[in-house]
Amino acid sequence: MNIFVVGGAGFIGSEIAKQCKDRGFSVSVMDLKPSKIDGVDSIIKDTTNPDVPNLDLSNYDVLIMLAAVTNQVEFQKNAIKSFSTNVIGLLNILEAARKSKIKKVAFASSSAVYGNTSEIENEDMPIYPDKANMYSTSKIMGEHLFNNYVKNGFFEGVAMRYFNTYGVGENDKGDYKSIVSIFLEEIKKKNTATVYGDGEQKRDMIHVKDTARISVELALNHSGTFNVGTGNATSWNTILDILESNGLRFERKYIKNPINDYQKFTQADTEKLSGQGLKANITIEDGVKELIDYYNITQQ
Ligand SMILES: NC(=O)c1ccc[n+]([C@@H]2O[C@H](COP(=O)([O-])OP(=O)(O)OC[C@H]3O[C@@H](n4cnc5c(N)ncnc54)[C@H](O)[C@@H]3O)[C@@H](O)[C@H]2O)c1
């Protein structure tokens, strides 16, 4: 099995490339930076390059598309470049897949397509929310584009709506890493944890090894649109409680939330995923503990 992972040198993509390699598949990664995974073939290329639609990918059985600008802040800083990456970059890759007659394409969408909602997010909910931000809008556009290629029969497809993914490897994401790493870095530096609001904001936090394993299964064996989450929502206060129960000591600093239109809640409805025999296995307690060990925080 030959797998082509676009954006495969990033946080989730690297874990996908590693798991594919471990399963004995031949893996090529296309990204702006080289893959750090041993035995993976690296192609350094920008998806927005006009020659991308003509890439010969006919040797590959499955393409997994993850390359994207992954956060709203970058969209606000540079909307043209960000939309161009998430929409034109995607279009270029879909064209390359179509021309190369790739059988199966998996697209990394996001829970962001549901917009700022307080409901448990189900795949059948409409994805034209009034309150979509620019990043969400780019993923909604991406899904429409992707589904159109699938509907036209150019390839089989699976859209994967990732919820908040965390775990070792995300520190490369700078300011855009998960709240667990943000708290741990602050505790390591200053013995404080700054919390926006009352700390009762909740997210469906899924460990990167689960996100990657489920993605590979979906890419190989399933079609349609799937939430990729745990089905549980964890509050910032619960994460801080877990850090404390692992022996870390720090001051919680609750401050007024500086972000407008802040997402208070995400929780995946995982019935469709579990109907295919797929579910996240790593508990938030175990996942956070692994990150604590990784950050190797020593306190007097
Ligand atoms: N991490 C999460 O919690 C989360 C949640 C929902 C959706 N997603 C989606 O999952 C995918 C992967 O996210 P991630 O967290 O691994 O982010 P990441 O930033 O670590 O990975 C994205 C990768 O895409 C590459 N890339 C960006 N623009 C490119 C371009 N023009 N050409 C080639 N490569 C390019 C980057 O270099 C990076 O390696 C993204 O599509 C993201 O929107 C992630």
With 80 as the cut, is the pLDDT of residue 165 above it?
A: yes
Domains of the chain, by residue range, sit at 2-164+205-228, 165-204+232-269+282-295
Query: Which two structure tokens, joined as six digits, stand for 79?
Result: 């909307």
Q: Is the CB of 110 under 6 A from ligand 1?
A: yes
User: Which superfamily is assigned to 2-164+205-228 in CATH?
Assistant: NAD(P)-binding Rossmann-like Domain (3.40.50.720)
Query: Which two structure tokens, joined as six digits, stand for 131?
Result: 């309150």
Judge residue 186's burial from the number of C-beta atoms within 10 Å of its C-beta, 0-12 exposed, 13-18 middle, 19 or more buried: middle
Model-level pTM?
0.98
Lowest mean pLDDT among 2-6, 129-133, 148-152, 225-229: 129-133
Q: Which residue has the higher pLDDT, 228 or 171?
A: 228
Residue 174 pLDDT: 81
Residue 261 pLDDT: 79
Secondary structure E strands in 123-220 = 156-162, 164-166, 192-196, 202-203, 205-207
For residue 89, give the ligand 1 atom closest to its CA. Answer: 31
For residue 206, give the ligand 1 atom closest to its CA. Answer: 3
User: Left (φ > 0), alpha (ψ -120 to 50) or beta: where does 225 sit?
Assistant: beta
Q: Which residue has the higher pLDDT, 126 or 34?
A: 34
Report the nearest-CA residue for atom 32 of ligand 1. 46
Q: For residue 120, give the DSSP letter.
A: P
With 90 as the cut, is the pLDDT of residue 244 above it?
A: yes
CA angle at residue 124 from 179 to 160, to 5 degrees? 50
Q: Is the CB of 181 under 6 A from ligand 1?
A: no
Number of neighbours of residue 264 by Cβ within 10 angstroms? 13
Q: Is the CB of 20 under 6 A from ligand 1?
A: no
Report the nearest-CA residue for atom 44 of ligand 1. 162
Residue from 37, 65, 66 to probe ligand 1 pocket by mutation (most atoms less than 8 Å from CB): 66
With 90 as the cut, is the pLDDT of residue 207 above it?
A: yes
pLDDT digits (tens, 9 = 90+) for 130-151: 778 999 999 999 999 999 999 9
User: Which superfamily is assigned to 165-204+232-269+282-295 in CATH?
Assistant: UDP-galactose 4-epimerase, domain 1 (3.90.25.10)
Annotate 261-274 with DSSP letters as a single string.
T---B--B--HHHH
> Average pLDDT in the 32-54 region?
97
